[in-house]
């Protein structure tokens, strides 16, 4: 669930980067975006290049999102997701997790 997106601050001034920004999206019956409000008007989604789902942190505030990498008319590419817990659409550039780190205790769990 995404709340208070874009709100500043955290402990000792920690501000997470790449926070989701709310977005107006028209979706079709299958839950796929077919028009996105971009720069003041709705633009048609011409191609959906990729789609993936993230389910995480079910043990505290569950996160469940479906991401779409779409191309709008005019060629603009965006990454948006649909929050399946709270509803609503969000814009969020996506960077795959790096392989250089892992959560504390991850290695121990594997053993």
Partner 1 sequence: MDFACIQVPWFAIAVARRENPQLAGRPVVVGGAPEEHAEVTACSPEAMAAGVAPGMSLRRALALCPGAVFLPLAASVLRAEADRLAALLRERSPVVEEAGQGHLHCEIRGLPELLGLGTATYLAQLRESLAGETGLPVLAGAATTVFAAHAACSALGLGIGIAGDRGGPRQSISVVPGREREFLAHLPVKVLPVEPAMHQRLRLFGIERLAQVAALPLSAMQAQFGPAGRRAWELANGRDSSRLQPAQEELRVTEEVELPAPAVSQAALLAGSEAALARAFGREEVAGRAVRIVTWWAGLEDSTRVSRRLAFREPTADPRHALFVLRSKVEALRLPAPALSVGVELAGICSEYAHQQLLWSSGRGRQRELDDAIAQLHARAGEPQVYRIVEVQPWSRIPERQAALVAYGS
Angle at 50 between CA 47 and CA 51, to 5 degrees: 115
Task: Using the minimum distance from each CB to partner 1, give the nearer residue, 15 or 110.
Answer: 15
d(CA 84, CA 14): 27
Q: Is 3 in the site for partner 1 (CB under 8 A)?
A: no
Question: Which one of residues 3, 59, 98, 105 is an interface residue with partner 1 (CB under 8 A)?
Answer: 98
Contacts of 19 (CB under 8 A, 6+ apart): 5, 6, 92
Binding mask 40-79 for partner 1 (x = CB under 8 A): --------------x-xx-----x----------------
Q: Is 12 in the site for partner 1 (CB under 8 A)?
A: yes
Q: What is the dihedral of CA 54, 75, 32, 22, to 10 degrees?
A: 60
Residues found near partner 1 in the complex (CB under 8 A): 10, 12-20, 54, 56-57, 63, 92-95, 97-103, 106
């Amino acid at each position: 669930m995404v709340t208070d997106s874009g709100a500043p601050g955290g402990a000792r001034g920690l501000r997470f980067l790449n926070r989701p920004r709310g977005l107006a999206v028209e979706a079709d019956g299958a839950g796929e975006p077919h028009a996105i409000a971009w720069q003041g008007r709705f633009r048609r989604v011409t191609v959906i290049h990729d789609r993936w789902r993230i389910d995480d942190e079910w043990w505290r505030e569950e996160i469940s999102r479906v991401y779409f990498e779409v191309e709008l008319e005019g060629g603009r590419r965006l990454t948006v997701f649909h929050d399946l817990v709270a509803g609503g659409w969000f814009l969020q550039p996506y960077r795959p997790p790096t392989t250089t780190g892992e959560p504390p205790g991850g290695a121990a769990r594997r053993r």
